[in-house]
Amino acid sequence: MKHLILAASVLAGPAFGAEIWVTNEKDDTISVIDVDTLEVTRTIPTGERPRGITFSKDYSKVYICASDSNAVQVMDPVSGEILYDLPSGADPEQFVLHPDDRHLWIANEDDAVTTVVDTVERKVVAQIDVGIEPEGMAVSPDGKIVITTSETTNMAHWIDTSTLQIVANSLVDARPRHAEFTEDNKRLWVSSEIGGTVAVFDTATKAELAKIHFAITGVNDDLIQPVGFEFTPDMKTAFVALGPANHVAVINMDTYEVEDYILVGRRVWHMAFSPDHSKLFTTNGVSGDVTVIDVASREPIKSIKVGRFPWGAAMRP
């Protein structure tokens, strides 16, 4: 009986709560935040200038763009040990893991290429020439299209993942930094940092459907620099980080209207949801903290100190 109770309690009690992993660009570390207690539980050293971060499908590995180490590092999330480095091309900034859970598509900011890396063979499979200063990366849910946005060419490049060729280029406003497909694969959103807009494309026709503009009372227009964004799973609401405007915009995904602005820390960059999507964690570069937003009430509830210049965020359930 005792054993049974013990076994039951082990099964019932979650040994580890969900976590948000945040890369600290200046500290060369990752801060791990407990989603329930909203406190930093671990700080893990990484390679130089960690930026993009993503987990493998089964969360057994975490991939980190160590930009100044010119490598994608693969870490064991349990021990926090770097297992090995993947070849990544020079200065990897952002990447995206293909739905096949095997290929990483990496933007190499300095070389104007997108590099495809096989994480199993640990080698570069292909390099595709794209515009100047590629940064934002997105993959369609069906895995057929990968997007690279180039910051200086001001384009979103549509890359066919089977032929490894660019099939289309969409012009967007200045300095596109982040791209994301909607879950239903019907829309592609691209944020333009200097342009201060978010463009929405129809994935079938590749035509622009809408362009979202922002205006915050008391904040100068040139401070409104949209970067990272996330969608709620019901595809009703998008949250867009507005950089040095220190706000996150809440957008109605049907009407493309901005419904709200949420005050967060300084220079908000990227964000990640908690597993149940009830909380959103934003990385605030200049203030060196992560603001937690209650998704239902759209209220900021806490800002958590992390390392210097937090950049990327990823959730681990």
If one asks whether residue 209 binds another protein (CB under 8 A), the answer comes out as no
The CA distances from residue 191 to 41, 66, 84, 172, 180, in Å, are: 32, 23, 32, 8, 9
Question: Which residue from 42, 61, 144, 266 is in contact with another protein, where contact means CB under 8 A?
Answer: 266
300 interacts with another protein by CB under 8 A: yes
Residue 310 C-beta: closest distance to another protein, Å = 15
- Our CB check for another protein shows the closer of 68 and 260 to be 260
Find the part of the chain contacting another protein (CB under 8 A) among 131-139, 147-155, 299-307, 309-317.
Answer: 299-307
Query: Which lies closer to another protein via its Cβ, residue 163 or residue 217?
Result: 217
User: Does residue 219 belong to the site contacting another protein (CB under 8 A)?
Assistant: yes
The reply on whether position 40 binds another protein by CB under 8 A is no
Site for another protein contains 303 (CB under 8 A):
yes
CB of 202 to another protein, least distance (A): 36
Contact 104, 87 (CB under 8 A): no
Cα–Cα distance, 212 to 258 (Å, whole number)? 8
Q: Is 253 in the site for another protein (CB under 8 A)?
A: no
Q: Count residues binding another protein (CB under 8 A).
A: 16
- Residue 117 as a binder of another protein (CB under 8 A): the answer is no
Complex with another protein: residue 23 or 284, whichever CB lies closer: 284
For residues 170 and 267, give the distance between their C-alpha atoms in angstroms, rounded to a whole number: 27
Which long-range contacts link 142-146 to residues 24+ away (Cβ below 8 Å)? 142/99, 142/185, 143/98, 143/99, 143/100, 145/181, 145/203, 146/96, 146/98, 146/105, 146/114
Q: Which of 9, 162, 205, 217 binds another protein (CB under 8 A)?
A: 217
CA angle, 22 then 266 then 33, to 5°? 25
Report if residue 301 touches another protein, rule: CB under 8 A.
Answer: yes
The per-residue DSSP string of 86-147 comes to EE--SSEEEEEE-TTSSEEEEEETTTTEEEEEETTTTEEEEEEE-SSSEEEEEE-TTSSEEE
Query: Is residue 263 part of the contact set for another protein (CB under 8 A)?
Result: yes
Q: Give me the residues that bind another protein (CB under 8 A), please.
A: 217-219, 246, 263-266, 287, 289, 291-292, 300-303
